[in-house]
Amino acid sequence: MLQREISRPIYLDYHATTPVDPRVAAAVLNAMTTAFGNANSVDHLYGEEAAALIDIARSEVATLVGGEPDGVHFTSGASESIQLAINHAARQSRSSGPLRVVMSAVEHRAVFDAIAALEGIGEASVRQVPVDSRACLDLDALKDACAFGADLVCVMAANNEVGTLYPIERVAQIARSSGASILVDATQGAGRVPMRAELWNVTYVALSAHKMYGPKGVGALVTAPDRKVRNSHSLVRGVGDGTPNVPGIVGLGEACRLRRLEMEVDEVRIASFRDRLETLLLADIPEAVINGDRANRLSGNLHIAVSDVPHGAVVARLRRRVALSTGAACMSGAQTPSHVLKAMGLARRLQEGALRLGLGKFTQEREIEEAAHHITEAVNATRRALAVTKS
Ligand code: PLP
């Protein structure tokens, strides 16, 4: 067992997913083995107990993002939440024509795909808002796009590749002043940066448990009071309530509770580790470029690019030592250039040398120097190998 622990690579891919906090796992286990009732069978204590646990989770999710418990709809993850929100918005605007969507150019694939599906059947039209070289949104362009007419504005809380944070309160003001609803994909931001959905007038917030030390396969869509619906399935016409995933929902709720209590302290520590890693890497690889908005990014994000050093080769060399990625989880391995880096105008040679490092709550201080050493070695070894091939 100890041997396995020692040989496991350092985990620096917290944007892809996070390990489950053992306290969350304990709550999930309890909901599977002791409080295992069917929350729809409220004729006895077991069902009542499960239903009460769901209510607690609902309240924790709402509190974390500043919404109302009644607005919380449990889903299988952020992708489903995003789809629900976009389809719900489309249904609301159907009588007046296709859904007019304004979205940032760096949204997650889940947003692009859900909108493309509607576009394909003539039920949506899209305007993309550009970002600058740090992936910051052009707010004037957002205003202009909204002025053409918008029903739904989609802007993420934090970017899953380069970590840039978005000014959601300001974006929501712009959206609302043109009469549009706003969907915030808070998958990377929830539990890392404060969210005040109701105060900021946000219509839909999507989030996922596995990005905040909870289990996979469960998430939530939080809707504003003016879109209040009793349960997730009432957003989907004609589908009734199935048996809720009580353990998953309990895990999500407990993860949200712990994030609310611990996020502030955790994020300061994580940022200090990230800064140390950044300093070490820049000292050893001075030509490396740091992407994203260094003044306003996720604490755990470090996105670096080394020109002419193919990232696939670096990641392969690091396979047994450091777990990191070349881009978003849904893109890595696909050899497709990142739409985020393209939208930022990053030179092709840098795009191909991009490495996404993600630190989190369980990253240890001692892992930082070790990871920096291994990454530097892998970059240098890749360079040497390329030089031999070319000579
Ligand atoms: N949105 C963002 C910003 C993400 O990073 C992810 C996952 O990588 C998703 C949406 C999809 O989340 P899920 O895996 O819960 O469907």
Q: What is the pLDDT of residue 223?
A: 96
pLDDT digits 0-9 by tens, 186-198: 999 999 999 999 9
Q: What is the pLDDT of residue 335?
A: 60
| Of 204, 207, 175, nearest in space to 188 by CA | 207
C-alpha–C-alpha distance, residues 374 and 340, integer Å:
27
Share of the chain above pLDDT 70, in %: 93
| Of 150, 178, 155, nearest in space to 166 by CA | 155
What's the gap in Å between 108 CA and the centre of ligand 1?
7
* Higher pLDDT, residue 94 or 11: 11
Q: Which two tokens stand for residue 97?
A: 């024509």
C-alpha–C-alpha distance, residues 57 and 72, integer Å:
9
- The closest-lying atom of ligand 1 relative to the alpha carbon of residue 158 is 3
Q: What is the pLDDT of residue 238?
A: 40
Q: What is the pLDDT of residue 239?
A: 44
- The closest-lying atom of ligand 1 relative to the alpha carbon of residue 82 is 10
Q: What is the pLDDT of residue 96?
A: 83
Write out the catalytic residue numbers.
330
| Of 15, 357, 68, 11, nearest in space to 208 by CA | 15
Beta bridge partners of 1: none
Pocket of ligand 1 (CB under 6 A): 77-79, 108, 110, 156, 160, 185, 187-188, 208, 219, 329
At 386, the pLDDT band (50, 70, 90 cuts) reads confident
Protein residue closest via CA to atom 8 of ligand 1:
16
What's the gap in Å between 212 CA and the centre of ligand 1?
11
C-alpha–C-alpha distance, residues 215 and 21, integer Å:
9
Protein residue closest via CA to atom 6 of ligand 1:
187
What's the gap in Å between 6 CA and the centre of ligand 1?
30
Probe residue for ligand 1, chosen from 165, 183, 187 as the CB with the greatest number of ligand atoms within 8 Å: 187
123 contact partners, CB below 8 Å, separation of at least 6 = 90, 94, 98, 99
163 contact partners, CB below 8 Å, separation of at least 6 = 15, 188, 292, 293, 297, 298, 300, 301, 302, 303
pLDDT digits 0-9 by tens, 135-172: 999 999 999 999 999 999 999 999 999 999 999 999 99
- The closest-lying atom of ligand 1 relative to the alpha carbon of residue 208 is 15
pTM over 0.85: yes
**Interval 334-338 mean pLDDT:** 73
Q: What is the pLDDT of residue 226?
A: 74
Probe residue for ligand 1, chosen from 14, 75, 80, 108 as the CB with the greatest number of ligand atoms within 8 Å: 108
Beta bridge partners of 208: 219
At 95, the pLDDT band (50, 70, 90 cuts) reads confident
Q: Which two tokens stand for residue 19?
A: 């390990």
pLDDT digits 0-9 by tens, 170-180: 999 999 999 99
**Interval 366-380 mean pLDDT:** 97
**Interval 232-249 mean pLDDT:** 68
Indicate if the pLDDT at residue 248 is higher than 60. yes
The pLDDT mean for the chain works out to 93
Q: What is the pLDDT of residue 24?
A: 98
What's the gap in Å between 110 CA and the centre of ligand 1?
7
**Interval 192-221 mean pLDDT:** 97
Protein residue closest via CA to atom 12 of ligand 1:
78
Cβ atoms within 10 Å, residue 323: 19
Q: What is the pLDDT of residue 4?
A: 46
Residue type, 179: G
Q: What is the pLDDT of residue 333?
A: 54
What's the gap in Å between 112 CA and the centre of ligand 1?
12
At 2, the pLDDT band (50, 70, 90 cuts) reads very low
Q: What is the pLDDT of residue 273?
A: 98
| Three-state DSSP string of the chain | CHHHHHHCCEECECCCCCCCCHHHHHHHHHHHHCCCCCCCCCCCHHHHHHHHHHHHHHHHHHHHHCCCHHHEEEECCHHHHHHHHHHHHHHHHHHHCCEEEEEECCCCHHHHHHHHHHHHCCCEEEEEECECCCCCECHHHHHHHHHCCCCEEEEECECCCCCEECCHHHHHHHHHHCCCEEEEECCCCCCCCCCCCCCCCCCEEEEEHHHCCCCCCCEEEEECHHHCCCCHHHHCCCCCCCCCCHHHHHHHHHHHHHHHHHHHHHHHHHHHHHHHHHHHHHHHCCCCEEECCCCCECCCEEEEECCCCCHHHHHHHHCCCEECECCCCCCCCCCCCCHHHHHCCCCHHHHCCEEEEECCCCCCHHHHHHHHHHHHHHHHHHHHHHHHHHC
Is residue 74 within 8 Å of residue 251, measured between CB atoms? no
pLDDT digits 0-9 by tens, 292-318: 999 999 999 999 999 999 999 999 999
Is residue 61 within 8 Å of residue 254, measured between CB atoms? no
Angle at 390 between CA 388 and CA 391, to 5 degrees: 65
In the block, tokens 């949506």 appear at 124
Q: What is the pLDDT of residue 172?
A: 97
Q: What is the pLDDT of residue 334?
A: 55
**Interval 207-223 mean pLDDT:** 98
